[in-house]
């Protein structure tokens, strides 16, 4: 693991590292913010999963999470959104697939399966790396994310309720198997296996028995992707039918940008901190 940068912020430390990933078959980069409380001992940790076209840097630069993380004494880990590198297959002219668009799943189709293993990379490999090298309390973990990353957070929580204690999302893609900007990626990554598709779809996971204690979702009403890509009402209906508590807050006037995310970042971190 190699230190890329370190900066003091709100009494804590914002750090970026790169490391060779066995799961993804390339070098991967992640950011971690350690609050000042980490100097005294292990702290809870929040995993933030970013959206399409992003890397670890977008939320680090524009998410405005550090003051809230320092206030509540939680670490924040920001992984990359996909494997990267000259040896990694990509579709350079397609922002909805390939580099920056790993969809937090484990690809099963060639050639993508050799590198696009984002689900097991985050849940297993990066999880172990962070636990072994930083003062975090692995028994107190939460996960959240935006858009594609919101999809990733919901599915990872539903499939790993013993690992994550809390889960929230900003404008998540709640049913990627049928959304315009994700179904084509699923076809390439997972082939025509309907079980694999359903296993990476939060709404379908709930409908087929997956459970999690509760969710918080914020969604901008002025989001241009709301009707075709996000459709939070599908997840809301599934949660109601499964008796899973969901707080869905439709925010008037807000779009899909980091102006929206940063506005409600403090609410989400405080919500997670109460549960961690």
Token reading at 90: 């990509």
Number of domains in the chain: 1
Show the CA angle centred on residue 43, arms to residues 40 and 46, nearest 5°: 150
Whole-prediction pTM: 0.97
Label each residue of 206-253 as H, E or C: HHCCCCCCCEEEEEECCCCCHHHHHCHHHHHHHHHHHCCCEEEEEECC
Quote the domain boundaries for residue 158: 2-275
End-to-end, the C-alpha distance of the chain in Å comes to: 28
Task: Supply the mean pLDDT for the chain.
Answer: 97
Pick the closest to residue 122 from 198, 30, 191, 188 (CA basis): 30
Pick the closest to residue 256 from 225, 233, 212, 228 (CA basis): 225
62-72 pLDDT, tens digit each: 999 999 999 99
Contact 146, 56 (CB under 8 A): no
Residues marked active site are found at 147, 223, 256
- Exposure class string for 152-166: b at 16+ Cβ within 10 A, else e: bbbbbbbbbeeebbb
Beta bridge partners of 217: 169, 248
97-119 pLDDT, tens digit each: 999 999 999 999 999 999 999 99
Mean pLDDT of the region 139-165: 98
- In three-state secondary structure terms, 32 is strand
45-82 pLDDT, tens digit each: 999 999 999 999 999 999 999 999 999 999 999 999 99
- The CATH number for 118's domain is 3.40.50.1820
């Amino acid at each position: 693991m190699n230190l890329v940068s370190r900066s003091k912020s709100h009494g804590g430390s914002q750090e970026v590292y790169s490391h060779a990933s066995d799961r993804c078959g390339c070098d991967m980069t992640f950011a971690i913010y350690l609050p000042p409380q980490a100097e005294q001992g292990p702290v809870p940790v929040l995993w933030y999963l970013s959206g399409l076209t992003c890397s670890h840097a977008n939320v680090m630069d524009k998410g405005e999470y550090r003051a809230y993380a320092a206030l509540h004494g939680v670490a924040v880990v920001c992984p990359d959104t996909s494997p990267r590198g000259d040896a990694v297959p990509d579709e350079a002219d397609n922002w909805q697939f390939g580099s920056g668009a790993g969809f937090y799943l484990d690809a099963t189709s060639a050639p993508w399966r050799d590198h696009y293993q984002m689900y097991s990379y985050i849940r297993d490999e990066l999880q172990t790396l962070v636990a072994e090298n930083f003062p975090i309390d692995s028994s107190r973990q939460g996960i959240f994310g935006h858009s594609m990353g919101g999809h990733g957070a919901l599915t990872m929580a539903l499939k790993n309720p013993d690992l994550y204690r809390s889960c929230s999302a900003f404008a998540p893609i709640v049913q990627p198997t049928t959304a315009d900007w994700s179904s084509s990626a699923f076809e390439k990554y997972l082939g025509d296996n309907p079980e694999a598709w359903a296993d990476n779809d939060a709404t379908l996971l709930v409908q087929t028995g997956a459970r999690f204690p509760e969710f918080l979702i914020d969604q901008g009403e002025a989001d241009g992707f709301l009707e075709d890509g996000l459709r939070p009402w599908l997840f809301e209906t599934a949660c109601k039918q499964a008796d899973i508590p969901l707080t869905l807050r439709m925010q008037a006037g807000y779009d899909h940008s980091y102006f929206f995310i940063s506005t409600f970042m403090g609410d989400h971190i405080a919500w997670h901190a109460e549960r961690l």
